[in-house]
Amino acid sequence: MDERHELERVWSDAPGIPGFLSTVDHKRLGIRYIYTSFFFFFVAGLIALVMRAQLSGPNQHVVGPTTYNELFTVHGTMMIFLFNTPILAGFGNYLVPLQLGTRDMAFPRLNAFSYWVFLLAGLLMCSSFFVGHPPNGGWFAYTPFTNKEFSPGLNMDFWGLSVMFVGISSTVGAVNFIVTIFKLRAPGMTLNRMPVFVWAMLVFSLMILFALPAITLASGLLETDRIFGTSLFVPAGGGSALLYQHLFWFWGHPEVYILFVPAAGMISMIIPVFTGRPLAGYVWVVTALVAIAFISFGVWIHHMFATGMPALALAAFSGASLLIAIPSGVQFFAWISTMWRGVVRLSTPMLFALGFLLIFLLGGITGVMVAVLPFDWQATDTYFIVAHLHYVLNGAVVFPIFGAMYYWLPKFWGRRPSERWGRVSFWVMFVGFNLSFFPMHILGILGMPRRIWTYPSGVGWTGINQLVTIGGGLFGLGTGISLVNWAWARFRGEPAGEDPWNADSLEWATTSPPEHWNFTSIPAVIGRHPLWAEKPVPVSASASPDSTFALGPEGALARQTPITNGIETAPEATMTIPHETYLPLLTALGIAVFFLGLLVNGVVVGVAGVALAAMGLMWWAWRTDVDLR
Amino acid sequence: MTVTTRPRVIEVQPAIRRGYSTAWWGMVCMIATEGMIFAILIASYFFLRATNKQWPPPGVEVPNLTLVIPFSLVLWGSSIPVFRAEHAIRRGDQRGLRIGLLVGSLMGLAFVAYTIKDFQDLHFGWRDHAYGSIFYITVGLHATHVVIGLLMSLIVQIKAWQGKFSAERHVTVEVFSLYWHFVDAVWLFVFPVFFLSPHIR
């Protein structure tokens, strides 16, 4: 008991606001990522409902065309940049160190920095509403439409700057995940024993590292054009509007898989637990994730089939796009064969996983359809694409996220959400989703274009649009039920215990919620399913040479965690987990001020921001103590 | 209910050889993503060149090479003292470390000074044409990276003068030197593309 008391003292954050602003605990930050992302999810979702109200009948006037443009732009941008990507990073933040059997991320302060940048970038985007200039040029912001000449005003500057800003968060987050996964695994957690979710986060991070620079440049160069008058995307000045599309989609297509891969990783964790047997074809599933990452860098031109490129290029990218169905199919069959031999428990997380399978199947099939050139030429810029992209980005990512919430909530809070209301929420969401997005395929084939703010009567779209709006409302209701269910569980839910699902991975070997230090003794991993092999999970210990010191409680008491070498995971050094600090917040604020300066064209503000950020970073580098022990 | 059975304890052998530090791996990841930024800028350069009839555009001279070649050699050469500094501290040689870092940073500083002068002397601006835009942005971004390297060098040098590094503990030096070599390596690509390739028609 004394030891526990001492550990509490060593690891707890300061109480109240100071601790809140300065914490570097991956669990607090992970949860905060999830809350913040859900906030943006519900904002963007409400925006979608307003759009559906507008389209529920012909010649409606709920909102005008200008507002409608702003709504669909912000809806898309928010969902992609401020909900989907960060919430997956949030789950990763919370779960990866626990699943690896370590006490924090490799760079805890960078982790805090990454969160603050995400929050401030989100606030920058939201602030556009309050000054009356929300982005209005589509979430892809195609030039020349978004050039200063055709889109004056600050609207698209809010888009470009917040997209660039939030990219910093994803990038440093990705670096953090990669190093954590390579260097902080518990002894015995070799690569072929890593949970599939960790593999997925590794692939997610590597893809971000190589794809994200393209969107940083697309939005960054767009902003130099808009703010400083360069002419990279301005045809009159020798620039090229098509170059913008290349840059945007060189990120944009991998991004689809950046979102899908962790979602698939979540499914690969949930299905085995609720069928009571290991995932079929672990190696195949992991290989498929890696293969998807590689192929996804060679398909971006399928978003540009209608831009008039040489036929050979189109054919090559069409082929690559079809190819991606193979690794996706491999995973699909692995999930089915896992269930085939197991006894399926239909708890809420599993229901969401099954719902995901069906939706992903449909989204995948329409994906193959639009990879075929002649079909794409017909379907492009119609509601068929809207249907397809919502099947893959909403259905195949949001359903796993909701499943993951139901699955991991008991760990986050130590309390269980209501099973009954979870099921109700699932069915309302599932019916609402399909009612909303399936008919959009038909609307697209009937020729309804994307992004129109209203349509005339008598073209045969009215009935289907009404159906879509009803489905959209149902889907919103279903998500709302879950939100209430979670809020209730947070305070009133039944106690969950350490391992409510009889799961296999290491996060279930700790208390719920886990202690600040995760593990008093670092676990020793003896197989791919530690909790199914032996309970309680064995702990690693040593005769205390320097490098293995951090394994035991002495390490936890010294705020340390072991660093292991990449391949055989033998401990090679120890890492001290930094104490709470305001530096990440300060640096993030500096960058925010810099972007604000760019936005208002204020040189003084911009320079002040750079100075603040540089000061923060240099102070940070100064305080790094790796060389001082 | 508390678990009464105690977990089995497994004795773990330490690694025989130490790998690179987490900071080193972090820098490698940063370099990968920064490298992509420059790779994409270079690809954009050639894309713009291919879409323009004349490159550089009418009225713009091909880059003058008289100053850029010697100063490029200075920048690439600055990797040598930094390399020697890193080797010195591995042997615990504090003086070698300090001198190497100082000489390296002075060479970097000379290159930045050249870039500022070059930008002032250029007869085209970044608003004139896409050629000017991509030129200033890429070369300027690279120079910014040199400046960041200089700021890092400042921190490392202060720590070196305080004697905070030793033969066993010098991760900061290693990470800094990795970054410095990366910035020099980027110039190996940016220089031929932006200064030499316009000469080939």
Interchain contact A309–B (C-beta under 8 A): no
Chain B residue with minimal CA distance to A549?
B14
- Which residues share a beta bridge with A564? A571
User: CA dihedral defined by A116, A117, A121, A122, rounded to 10 degrees?
Assistant: -40
Q: Write down the pLDDT at residue A629.
A: 42
The mean pLDDT of chain B is: 94
Residue contact A238–B52, C-beta within 8 A = yes
A491 vs B85: CA distance, rounded Å? 58
Find all residues with CB under 8 Å of B127, minimum gap 6, and list them: A228, A229, A230, A231, A237, B133
Chain-centre distance for alpha carbon A238: 37
Residue contact B44–A537, C-beta within 8 A = no
CA angle, A396 then A400 then A406, to 5°: 155
User: What's the mean pLDDT in A232-261?
Assistant: 95
In this complex, the residue of A174, A228, A243 whose CB is nearest that of residue B44 is A243
Token duo for residue B107: 């060479």
Residues of chain A contacting residue B53, judged by C-beta atoms under 8 Å apart = none
Residues of chain B contacting residue A547, judged by C-beta atoms under 8 Å apart = 14-15, 18
Of A192, A189, A186, the closest CA to residue A286 belongs to A192
Token duo for residue A191: 């690569």
Residue contact B133–A536, C-beta within 8 A = no
Residues of chain B contacting residue A293, judged by C-beta atoms under 8 Å apart = none
Residues of chain B contacting residue A627, judged by C-beta atoms under 8 Å apart = 159, 164-165, 169-172
Token duo for residue A429: 């969401």
Chain-centre distance for alpha carbon A160: 20
Cβ A550 vs Cβ A558: under 8 Å: yes
Residue contact A238–B57, C-beta within 8 A = yes
Residue contact B22–A107, C-beta within 8 A = yes
**DSSP E strands: which ranges in A228-329?**
none
**Predicted confidence band at B4 (pLDDT cuts at 50, 70, 90)?**
low
Chain B residue with minimal CA distance to A207?
B33
Cβ A521 vs Cβ A553: under 8 Å: yes
Q: Write down the pLDDT at residue A626.
A: 60
Whole-number percent of chain A with pLDDT over 70: 99
For chains A and B, count residue pairs whose Cβ atoms are closer than 8 Å: 192
Residue contact A538–B8, C-beta within 8 A = yes
Residue contact A536–B7, C-beta within 8 A = yes
Residue contact B36–A210, C-beta within 8 A = yes
Of A501, A500, A555, A566, the closest CA to residue A523 belongs to A555
Give me the sign of the Cα torsion angle A93, A99, A102, A103.
positive
A432 vs A424: CA distance, rounded Å? 12
CA angle, B75 then B76 then B79, to 5°: 100
Residue contact B26–A543, C-beta within 8 A = no
Q: How does DSSP assign A501-515, residue by residue? A: T---SGGGGS-SSPP
**Predicted confidence band at A449 (pLDDT cuts at 50, 70, 90)?**
very high
What does the pLDDT look like over A8-37, one tens digit per residue? 999 998 889 999 999 999 999 999 999 999
Q: Which amino acid is at A332?
A: F
Interchain contact A542–B (C-beta under 8 A): yes
Interchain contact A310–B (C-beta under 8 A): no
Eight-state DSSP code of residue A134: -
Residues of chain B contacting residue A234, judged by C-beta atoms under 8 Å apart = 130
Of A159, A162, A161, A165, the closest CA to residue A133 belongs to A159
Residue contact A232–B48, C-beta within 8 A = yes
In this complex, the residue of A178, A243, A539 whose CB is nearest that of residue B47 is A243
Q: B68: distance to nearest CA of chain A, Å?
A: 24
Chain B residue with minimal CA distance to A541?
B11
**Predicted confidence band at B168 (pLDDT cuts at 50, 70, 90)?**
confident
- Which residues share a beta bridge with A495? A415
Q: A312: distance to nearest CA of chain B, Å?
A: 18
Q: Write down the pLDDT at residue A459.
A: 93
Strand, helix or coil for residue A623: helix
Residues of chain B contacting residue A583, judged by C-beta atoms under 8 Å apart = none
Cβ A303 vs Cβ A309: under 8 Å: no
B7 vs A101: CA distance, rounded Å? 15
A397 vs A255: CA distance, rounded Å? 12
What does the pLDDT look like over B126-153, one tens digit per residue? 999 999 999 999 999 999 999 999 999 9
Q: Write down the pLDDT at residue B1.
A: 42
User: What's the mean pLDDT in A51-77?
Assistant: 96
Interchain contact A543–B (C-beta under 8 A): yes
User: What's the mean pLDDT in B12-17?
Assistant: 84
List chain B domain ranges.
22-199
Q: What is the CATH topology of the domain spanning B22-199? A: Four Helix Bundle (Hemerythrin (Met), subunit A) (1.20.120)
Say which residue the tokens 């995932």 belong to.
Answer: A279
In this complex, the residue of A179, A240, A565 whose CB is nearest that of residue B29 is A179
User: What's the mean pLDDT in A146-162?
Assistant: 94
What does the pLDDT look like over A460-501, one tens digit per residue? 999 999 999 999 999 999 999 999 999 999 999 999 999 999
Find all residues with CB under 8 Å of A545, minimum gap 6, and list them: B14
A399 vs A600: CA distance, rounded Å? 39
Cβ A509 vs Cβ A537: under 8 Å: yes
Residues of chain B contacting residue A538, judged by C-beta atoms under 8 Å apart = 7-10
**Residues of A numbered 159-198 whose beta carbons fall under 8 angstroms of chain B's beta carbons: which are they?**
171, 174-176, 178-179, 182-184, 187-188
Interchain contact A239–B (C-beta under 8 A): yes
- Residue A480: φ, ψ to 5°: -65, -40
**Residues of A numbered 82-141 whose beta carbons fall under 8 angstroms of chain B's beta carbons: which are they?**
106-107, 110
Tell me whether the omega of the peptide bond preceding residue B56 falls within 30 degrees of 0, making it cis: yes
Tell me whether the omega of the peptide bond preceding residue A500 falls within 30 degrees of 0, making it cis: no
Residue contact A565–B19, C-beta within 8 A = yes
Q: A171: distance to nearest CA of chain B, Å?
A: 8
Residue contact A238–B7, C-beta within 8 A = no
Strands A539-541 and A494-495: unpaired
Residue contact A179–B165, C-beta within 8 A = no
What does the pLDDT look like over A404-448, one tens digit per residue? 999 999 999 999 999 999 999 999 999 999 999 999 999 999 999
Find all residues with CB under 8 Å of A76, minimum gap 6, and list them: A138, A139, A140
Cβ A30 vs Cβ A115: under 8 Å: no
Whole-number percent of chain B with pLDDT over 90: 87
Residue contact B14–A237, C-beta within 8 A = no
Per-residue pLDDT for A157 more than 80?
Answer: yes
Residues of chain B contacting residue A541, judged by C-beta atoms under 8 Å apart = 9-12
B71 vs A338: CA distance, rounded Å? 62
Token duo for residue A508: 């279930």
Interface test with B, best of A230, A309, A506, A534 (most B CBs within 10 A): A230
Q: How does DSSP assign A301-318, residue by residue? A: GGG-GGG---HHHHHHHH
- Residue A66: φ, ψ to 5°: -65, -50
Q: Write down the pLDDT at residue A520.
A: 93
Token duo for residue A139: 């979430």
Token duo for residue A375: 């079909």
Q: B125: distance to nearest CA of chain A, Å?
A: 9
Residue contact A217–B41, C-beta within 8 A = yes
Residue contact A243–B129, C-beta within 8 A = no
Interchain contact A520–B (C-beta under 8 A): no
Q: Write down the pLDDT at residue A623.
A: 80
User: What's the mean pLDDT in B83-106?
Assistant: 96
**Predicted confidence band at A125 (pLDDT cuts at 50, 70, 90)?**
very high
B115 vs B136: CA distance, rounded Å? 10
What does the pLDDT look like over A539-594, one tens digit per residue? 998 766 777 888 989 899 999 999 998 888 999 888 999 989 999 999 999 999 99
Per-residue pLDDT for A213 more than 80?
Answer: yes
A614 vs A624: CA distance, rounded Å? 15
A25 vs A579: CA distance, rounded Å? 9
In this complex, the residue of B5, B133, B170 whose CB is nearest that of residue A231 is B133
Cβ A257 vs Cβ A321: under 8 Å: no
Interchain contact A284–B (C-beta under 8 A): no
CA angle, A148 then A151 then A153, to 5°: 85
**Predicted confidence band at A627 (pLDDT cuts at 50, 70, 90)?**
low
Residue contact B14–A545, C-beta within 8 A = yes
Name the H helices within A311-395: 311-323, 325-341, 348-371, 373-379, 383-390
A117 vs B169: CA distance, rounded Å? 32
User: What's the mean pLDDT in A605-619?
Assistant: 93
In this complex, the residue of A107, A179, A572 whose CB is nearest that of residue B14 is A572
Token duo for residue A199: 């593999």
B106 vs B104: CA distance, rounded Å? 5
Chain B residue with minimal CA distance to A510?
B3
Say which residue the tokens 């209910």 belong to.
Answer: B1
